[in-house]
Amino acid sequence: MKSPIFEPAMEPPILEPSREPSLLEPSFEMENIFDRESSLHPPSVPIPFLKSIEKMEAQLLSLEWEITEEKLQKTREEVLALRELLKQKADITSILSDMEKVLSHMMKNEENIKPPCIKFLLDSKETIKLLMRKETEGEIDIYKQLAYLGIEARFSCLEGRQESKIIQPSFSKGEGVEKTEVSIPGEKKIEDMSNKMSCFMEKVEEIFRTMKQQISRLEETIRKPPAASLEAGPKPVNVIIFKVDEKLFGVESEKVFKLFKVPNTFQEKYSNQQKIRLRDFEVQMINLKEIFSIQGGGLKGEIKILTVKDNGEYKGFMVDQVLKKLSTLSEKGGELGEYFSGVIHSTYQEQPVEIPILDLKKF
Per-residue model confidence as pLDDT tens digits over 152-178: 888 887 766 555 443 444 434 444 444
Cβ distance 49 to 86 under 8 Å?
A: yes
- CB atoms closer than 10 angstroms to residue 45: 18
**Which stretches in the chain have pLDDT values below 70?**
1-48, 136-138, 159-191, 193-194, 197, 201, 204, 221, 223-233, 297-301, 333-336
- CB atoms closer than 10 angstroms to residue 60: 20
How many CA atoms within 13 Å lie on the side-chain side of 33? 16
Percent of the chain at pLDDT > 70 equals 67
pTM for the full model?
Answer: 0.38
pLDDT at 10: 39
Q: Where are the alpha helices (DSSP H) in the chain?
A: 28-33, 48-65, 69-85, 90-108, 115-131, 139-162, 187-223, 227-232, 266-270, 288-291
Domain 232-362: CATH class, spelled out: mainly beta
Tens digits of per-residue pLDDT, 200-247?
767 767 777 777 777 777 777 676 665 554 455 678 899 999 999 889
List CB contacts of 324: < 8 A, sequence separation 6 or more. Answer: 240, 241
Among 26, 86, 71, 78, smallest CA distance to 55 is for 78
Domain ranges of the chain: 28-166+185-223, 232-362
